[in-house]
Structure 1
Amino acid sequence: MKSGYFKKGLSVDLGSGSIERPVLSDDFIEQYIGGRGFGAKLVWDNLRKHDFKINPLGPESILVVAPGPLTGVYLPSSGKNSFAAISPATGLYGDSSMGGRFGVELRQSGIDVLSITGRATDLSILFIDNDDVKIIPMPDLKGKNCLEAEGTVKQRLGTQAIHVATIGVGGENGVRFACINTDWSRNAGRTGMGAIMGSKNLKAIAVRGDKDIPVHDVRGLVTENEKAFRYMREHKYFKMWQQEGLMNVIDYANQKGILPAYNFKDSVFARHSSINGATMLAHYKIGDSACFACPMCCGNICLVKNGKYAGTVIEGPEYESCAMLGSNLGIENFAAVLSANHLCDELGIDTISTGSIIGAVIEGYEKGILSLSDLDGREITWGNEEAILEMIRRIAHRQGIGNILANGSRGIIARWPEMDEVLLQVKGLEQSAYDSRPSMSMALAYATSDIGAHHTRAWTIAKEVEEGQNWSDEDKVDIVIYHQKVRPLFDMLGVCRLPWIELGLSERHYANFYSCVTGKEMTLDGLMSLSNDIYNLTRLINCHLGATRQDDSLPHKVWANPPLTGQNAGKVIDQHDFNRILSLYYKRRGWDEKGIPPASLEKKFDN
């Protein structure tokens, strides 16, 4: 590999205090690229070392922090960083990515991948200051929220010129869907990576770096950049994205009948206009925010100016948070949605899982599955803002019923088996804010996602509801597999997928970016083949951890309970049709009828 990498890793054992700096071989770099590719490989190696017997929250568990080769290079939206581990929510492979500048700073410190094992004796931070690495006990950070912790760390280290990834009380308390926060409100939200940090007694990772990231062909990169940035700025939806960001999806999802309402009892929300982008622009938005090198500026800075939530300032919300904490819970007050989102950010818990679980609790209480006693004597109903905000706090602090809800869907079902009827989850991960009942391809995407029901692995629903009425089974399978190759590729490279999925920036730009940065000529097909290898690797991880075909299933509600109103009223996924398509999916992936990849594949990842 000619360029693009420092070829250096950093391995930290918080228990022993050992700090090592492994050299990354060209073979390793070329096969796994970076980001989630590095993460999956190191998680795999650690599992094999422990004979696939690992407690995700034990000291033997590994947390991998990995930017990609394009992270920190000036090209569109190149500020992404991935975290990978065995998920405490699912017990299977997990990863999550976040934007901002944390990953950029890590790259500029000269590190291509960071791995963390062990457990610190006292609550500590890890400070990476270029080549100087220290484990610093800071036990008085305990109980501080994410934003307070970031500010305190910067104050203690005597500089604002660092970037910090922190956990809140959710991570400290081992909430299975705790997230990692940076730059105020950028979060690695899914699969419980914050709980992994908390289990290691690691409150924060602070990074300062001033090294130049090596680029092989600067002139070629500048030329490719000019083409990409020009295309984005001239796109007809560019200004809309700058104005509303992902909040423009609220109206679209409601129009198409895929917006979660009342825990997916419905897929349209009569009062959607009270929580949409237009309402945000008219009454709450005061500024824009962008990740590194991103012209889209999709972050919305909002302020609640009056009422009981007055003074709440947040970068957000975006679609997922607004839908799951708004329409999904019957909340039509945008200020309350902002407050709930801000509270989740402070406490360090995932907005999607939090909104999904609280929605299931409300419906479970409504159906008599949960009693008032189960709810600690505190009634919770649709749209009850105060009760919902209090439930968020109780989850993060593990108080009362919150102690059970904090264990995620699997823990809830273990306590109340009938809650499986109302929980929207796959493999233990709560479903994203898109109703799959009108879309077989989206249902298949949720079911076969390696991390559980999350849309970032394959977001096919828009294309199917727009133009997929005559799709064959093969069409539905092929679009899912294509997305499962290309979408995770962005996480390997360390870039955001929004310029591609929302503005149509060609995937081929990214192959050209990679070639310019690294000096290794690579086609898009070549990169996608490597990305597909990682999907096979994470599948192998899950199979070794006990996942079977039965885990590639869907929530009970998707089979049995159709939306009540809207254009998709009455629609469910037919279980027989789904199983037929799942078998076809396995066949086209080269896996057996049980969904297990051939044993020969393991040899590819032995190096």
Structure 2
Amino acid sequence: MVLNRKLGIIDLNKNKVLVREIPVELRKKHLGGRGLNWYYLYNSIRPDIDPFSPENVLAIGAGLLTGFPALGAGRTQISTKNPMTGGVGDSNMGGAFGPQLRLAGFDHLLIVGKAEKPTYILVKDGGIEIRSAEHLWGLDTHTVQKAIREEVGDDRAESMVIGRAGENLVAFANVMNGIKNAGGRSGTGAVMGSKNLKAIVASGDIDLEVHDPEKLLDYSLEVDRRARNTKWAKTLGRLGTPLLYDVSYTTGFIGTLNWQYNTPGEDGKPLEAENLEKYSVKMVACIGCSVHCRHRVKIREGRYRGVVTEGPEYAAIGAFGTGVGVYDWEFVIKCNEMANRWGVDLISLGTTVAWAFELFQRGFITENDTGGLRLEWGNENAVLDLARMIVERQNIGNVLADGMLKASEKIGKESLYYANQTKGHPNLLTDERGIPSFALGIATSTRGADHLRSRPGIDLFQLPEETLEKIYGHRIVSDFTAYETKGIMVWWHELLYNVVDSLGICKFQTVFNSANSPRFEDYVPLIEYATGIRLTREELMEIGERNYTTERMFNVLNGFSRKDDYPPERYFREETKRGLPFMKGRKLDREKYEMMLEEYYRQHGWDENGVPKKETLERLGIAEPDYSMLEVL
């Protein structure tokens, strides 16, 4: 059955492995994936533990529905204490690792300790083995996966690996599966590197038996067809996420030259989504997904001739395009490919590079710091060289590699004003000054500035308020420049995306950028037909609330509070300089933002400092952490 997948506990220091059952009651409270990961970590990681300490725990989780043919259910969750923030570190990865982990007999892994020498973990047909990776250390993320498949003798084996960035403990290093699938945020790759863990490999043939196969197949086809037939999914399947760029730069909410501007204007036209088709070979997808939202691209001539990769996504256009003043698809493709080979979060890398460029512009850093490199806007060589310096920890790159908070302490605390981050976590290259709901979402996200924890993309559509009320169950103001009721909107999306991550399905096939996509009530039959667990829409929402509040409590115990729930100060002080009339001259209203934040806290049942109230914790069944989860070792 689906529910018989195991929990593997691995101590790299003791070279010891334990296999345990996952109680059904925990499934009913947390589902799997992100939710169950944070149940385990909340009860495992003490507040005084450093993210790079051997005592930090890395959790790997497949969603409850991962591996099933519905709604892109191929996702994997990687969770740990974040090296950049000291709080929640969490990444969601597509591809095929999660399904293969389940076929190997496991849904969750908890990894603690530090191996004496480079190591990889092999999860195969119900067993777990710790192997040497000394011969694999130093290999890029593409090469090492090929080498591992040859070594284990299984061309279907899936690996979750780190590259040079993780080995060098770059605070925003990621983990990779395939050539494109990235557990891309929160420094999960750096934590793997700190444990001398090069890879986790899954290989197996243990069938996923389901509760009601016929009903599951019929309903999966129905709900998948509904998601696939939305205008959003159809356009996504043709253009990929770069479709979002066209609206962003035209309207005026894409960070440009490190947020000095909110659009590049006509200069940005070469990066329109249609222009990527010149390089696109075909559209491909994660396992079990019918949307096919990513490009397979090839550069056939010129400076970057021969580069073949997947993507780039919308995030890369900002990170290596508008953010640094380069408006060339081939350059963006090359940077995307290099970041994936290095195993580094391209959002954090691009945002950090753009920040450094503005600091150079303003005199905070000079050529003495950069080894003679002039960080001038639009200079492709400077972007590539600085990115490489960060990954290899050379010159100023060694400072930037520690993340924005630590770097600003060395560069000068005034420099932090120009860093687009919250809680120390770099932001996607969007400009939220004119969209209060987006600003609140990046500020309150448990892992720091982020567009995938709560962003209500449909807020931009200004749908009829009766339609919004049907979706949210509350009156929501249609105007996306308004502050009123947006705290409720962000709260609802937090719960939805947590459930989605805990089920292992794709956010792009839920109410993210399409009001007609599946939501809570549509997941109820999927869960029952797959597992036999019967839940209501309201119970699913409560699970999302429980899981999210657990993450919030982890942050509270690590020193976070209301003071950390604000977007960059620049958003309050500086007006946007470009864009359409309704976006030009926008900045956040501090008084209205405070009102929106308080509305958000009330909706969650948290106090005025953003701390969950005692009655809220009791209602959700969240107890004090006992930190005994790993004492069995």
Q: TM-score range by the shorter chain?
A: over 0.9
* Residue 540 of structure 2 is aligned to residue 542 of structure 1: no
CA distance, structure 1, for counterparts of residue 64 and residue 126 of structure 2? 19
CA distance, structure 1, for counterparts of residue 137 and residue 330 of structure 2? 29
* Residue 581 of structure 2 is aligned to residue 581 of structure 1: no
Letter in 2 for 1:221: L
* Residue 429 of structure 2 is aligned to residue 433 of structure 1: yes
Offset of residue 275 of structure 1: 1.5
Distance 1:27 1:325, change over 3 A: same
Offset of residue 489 of structure 1: 1.2
Aligned residue in 2 for 1:24:
22
Q: Among 151, 160, 168, which residue is 2:163 paired with?
A: 168
Offset of residue 474 of structure 1: 4.2
- Structure 1 unaligned residues grouped into runs of 5+: none
Aligned residue in 2 for 1:57:
52
Aligned residue in 2 for 1:135:
130
* Residue 342 of structure 2 is aligned to residue 347 of structure 1: yes
Aligned residue in 2 for 1:519:
532
CA distance, structure 1, for counterparts of residue 177 and residue 281 of structure 2? 21
Which 4+ runs in 1 deviate beyond 3 A? Answer: 232-239, 464-468, 470-474, 599-603
Distance 1:417 1:37, change over 3 A: same
* Residue 505 of structure 2 is aligned to residue 505 of structure 1: no
TM-score, normalised to structure 2, is 0.92
CA distance, structure 2, for counterparts of residue 460 and residue 116 of structure 1? 34
Q: Among 59, 75, 80, which residue is 2:70 paired with?
A: 75
The SS at the match of 1:414 is: helix
Quote the sequence identity (%).
28
* Residue 242 of structure 2 is aligned to residue 253 of structure 1: no
The SS at the match of 1:5 is: helix
Aligned residue in 2 for 1:401:
396
Offset of residue 602 of structure 1: 5.0
Residues 5, 112 of structure 1: 8 Å contact kept: no
CA distance, structure 1, for counterparts of residue 126 and residue 6 of structure 2? 11
CA deviation profile, 1:268-319 (whole Å, cap 9, x unmatched):
22232211211111x2111221101111111111111111111111101010
CA distance, structure 2, for counterparts of residue 155 and residue 365 of structure 1? 46
Q: Which moved more, 1:239-248 or 1:444-453?
A: 239-248
* Residue 271 of structure 2 is aligned to residue 262 of structure 1: no
Counting only pairs closer than 5 Å after superposition, residues 48-447 of structure 1 correspond to structure 2 as: 50=46, 52-269=47-264, 270-281=266-277, 283-415=278-410, 416-447=412-443
Aligned residue in 2 for 1:564:
577
Letter in 2 for 1:84: S
The SS at the match of 1:396 is: helix
* Residue 591 of structure 2 is aligned to residue 594 of structure 1: no
Distance 1:138 1:87, change over 3 A: same
- Structure 2 unaligned residues grouped into runs of 5+: 464-477, 627-633
Offset of residue 214 of structure 1: 2.5
The SS at the match of 1:21 is: strand
TM-score, normalised to structure 1, is 0.96
Distance 1:384 1:471, change over 3 A: closer
CA deviation profile, 1:394-434 (whole Å, cap 9, x unmatched):
11111111111101111111112121121000001001132
CA distance, structure 2, for counterparts of residue 471 and residue 358 of structure 1? 30
Offset of residue 594 of structure 1: 0.9
Q: Which moved more, 1:522-531 or 1:236-245?
A: 236-245
Distance 1:238 1:427, change over 3 A: closer
Distance 1:601 1:116, change over 3 A: farther
The SS at the match of 1:280 is: helix
CA distance, structure 2, for counterparts of residue 473 and residue 387 of structure 1? 40
Distance 1:441 1:237, change over 3 A: closer
Residues 51, 83 of structure 2: 8 Å contact kept: yes
CA distance, structure 2, for counterparts of residue 348 and residue 333 of structure 1? 23
Residues 250, 272 of structure 1: 8 Å contact kept: no
Residues 460, 483 of structure 1: 8 Å contact kept: yes
Residues 41, 605 of structure 1: 8 Å contact kept: no
Residues 7, 107 of structure 2: 8 Å contact kept: yes
Offset of residue 27 of structure 1: 1.6
CA distance, structure 1, for counterparts of residue 291 and residue 272 of structure 2? 19
The alignment yields a C-alpha RMSD, in angstroms, of 1.6
Residues 265, 562 of structure 1: 8 Å contact kept: no
Residues 442, 460 of structure 1: 8 Å contact kept: yes
CA distance, structure 1, for counterparts of residue 224 and residue 433 of structure 2? 37
Residues 93, 541 of structure 1: 8 Å contact kept: yes
